Structure 1
Amino acid sequence: MSLRILFTGGSGKAGRHVVPYLLDRGHTVVNIDRTPLDDPRVHNLTADITDSGQMFNALTGYAHLGELEQAEGGPKPFDAVVHFAAIPRILVTPDNETYRINTVGTYNVLEAATKLAVRKIVFASSETTYGVCFAEGEVKPEFLPVTEDHPTRPIDSYAMSKLCNEATAEVFARRSGADIYGLRIGNVIEPHEYATFFPRYFDDPSLRRRNIFCYIDARDLGQIVDRCLATDGLGYEVFNAGNDDNSVDLTTTEIIEEFYPDVPVTRELGEYEALYSNRKIRDLLGFEEQHPWHRYVRSPRQDD
Structure 2
Amino acid sequence: MERDLVGRLAGAECLVLGAGGFIGANLCPALARAGAVVHGFGRAPAHPEALPPMPWTDAEFQDRAALAEALGGKDVVFHLLGGSIPDLAERDPAEDLRGNAAASVELLELCRAAGVKRMVFISSGGTVYGMPRRLPIPEDHPTDPISAYGIHKLLVEKHLGLQARRNGLQAVVLRAANPYGPYQNPHRGQGVIAALMARRLSGQPVEIWGDGRVVRDFLHVDDMVDAMLRAAVYAGPHRVMNLGSGIGRSILEVVAAVDQVLGLEGADLVFRPGRAVDVPVNVLDVSLIRRELGWTPRTGWLEGLRGTADWLRQSGVLGAGRQDERARALRGCA
Q: Quick check: TM above 0.5?
A: yes
Out of 82, 86, 100, the residue aligned to residue 86 of structure 1 is 82
- Spell out the pairing of 1:90-129 with structure 2 (5 A cutoff): 90-92=86-88, 94-127=92-125, 128-129=127-128
* Alignment deviations for residues 114-146 of structure 1 (CA, whole Å, 9 cap, x no partner): 332222111111121112xxxxxxxx4111110
Deviation at 1:16, TM superposition (A): 1.6
1:196 counterpart residue number: 197
1:232 counterpart residue number: 235
* Alignment deviations for residues 78-118 of structure 1 (CA, whole Å, 9 cap, x no partner): 11111011233233362211121111221122222233222
Percent identity, aligned pairs only, is 27
Q: 1:191 to 1:40 in 2, by over 3 A?
A: closer
* Comparing 219-228 and 30-39, the one that deviates more: 30-39
Out of 155, 170, 186, the residue aligned to residue 179 of structure 1 is 170
Give SS of 1:129's match.
coil
Deviation at 1:207, TM superposition (A): 3.7
**Given that residues 6 and 59 in structure 1 are in contact (C-alpha distance below 8 angstroms), is that contact kept between their aligned partners in structure 2?**
yes
Aligned length, in residue pairs:
247
Q: 1:59 to 1:144 in 2, by over 3 A?
A: same
Out of 159, 165, 168, the residue aligned to residue 159 of structure 2 is 168
- Equivalent-residue separation in structure 1 for 2:52 and 2:22 (angstroms): 18
Please state which structure has a larger fraction of its residues in helix: 2
- Equivalent-residue separation in structure 2 for 1:19 and 1:45 (angstroms): 14
Q: 1:204 to 1:117 in 2, by over 3 A?
A: closer
**Given that residues 217 and 284 in structure 2 are in contact (C-alpha distance below 8 angstroms), is that contact kept between their aligned partners in structure 1?**
yes
Q: 1:296 to 1:168 in 2, by over 3 A?
A: closer
Out of 217, 222, 234, the residue aligned to residue 219 of structure 1 is 222
**Given that residues 87 and 101 in structure 1 are in contact (C-alpha distance below 8 angstroms), is that contact kept between their aligned partners in structure 2?**
no
Give SS of 1:188's match.
strand
**Given that residues 220 and 299 in structure 2 are in contact (C-alpha distance below 8 angstroms), is that contact kept between their aligned partners in structure 1?**
yes
1:262 counterpart residue number: none
**Given that residues 22 and 222 in structure 1 are in contact (C-alpha distance below 8 angstroms), is that contact kept between their aligned partners in structure 2?**
no
* Alignment deviations for residues 250-292 of structure 1 (CA, whole Å, 9 cap, x no partner): 9xxxxxxxxxxxxxxxxxxxxxxx9311111111111121212
1:31 counterpart residue number: 40
* Alignment deviations for residues 220-242 of structure 1 (CA, whole Å, 9 cap, x no partner): 110011000121243x6111111
2:67 counterpart residue number: 55
Give SS of 1:213's match.
strand
1:245 counterpart residue number: 247
Out of 11, 16, 29, the residue aligned to residue 20 of structure 1 is 29
Normalised by the size of structure 2, how large is the TM-score?
Answer: 0.66
Normalised by the size of structure 1, how large is the TM-score?
Answer: 0.72
1:130 counterpart residue number: 129
- Spell out the pairing of 1:37-48 with structure 2 (5 A cutoff): 38=48, 39-48=51-60
Deviation at 1:173, TM superposition (A): 0.5
1:288 counterpart residue number: 296
- Equivalent-residue separation in structure 1 for 2:302 and 2:59 (angstroms): 39
Give SS of 1:30's match.
strand
- Equivalent-residue separation in structure 1 for 2:230 and 2:29 (angstroms): 15
- Equivalent-residue separation in structure 1 for 2:177 and 2:305 (angstroms): 19
Deviation at 1:147, TM superposition (A): 0.8
2:19 aligned with 1:10, yes or no? yes
* Alignment deviations for residues 11-52 of structure 1 (CA, whole Å, 9 cap, x no partner): 222222122222221211111111235124232211232243
Give SS of 1:155's match.
coil
- Equivalent-residue separation in structure 2 for 1:216 and 1:15 (angstroms): 15
Q: 1:158 to 1:275 in 2, by over 3 A?
A: closer
- Unaligned residue ranges in structure 1 (runs of 5+): 61-76, 132-139, 251-273, 299-304
- Spell out the pairing of 1:138-153 with structure 2 (5 A cutoff): 140-153=131-144
**Given that residues 82 and 121 in structure 1 are in contact (C-alpha distance below 8 angstroms), is that contact kept between their aligned partners in structure 2?**
yes
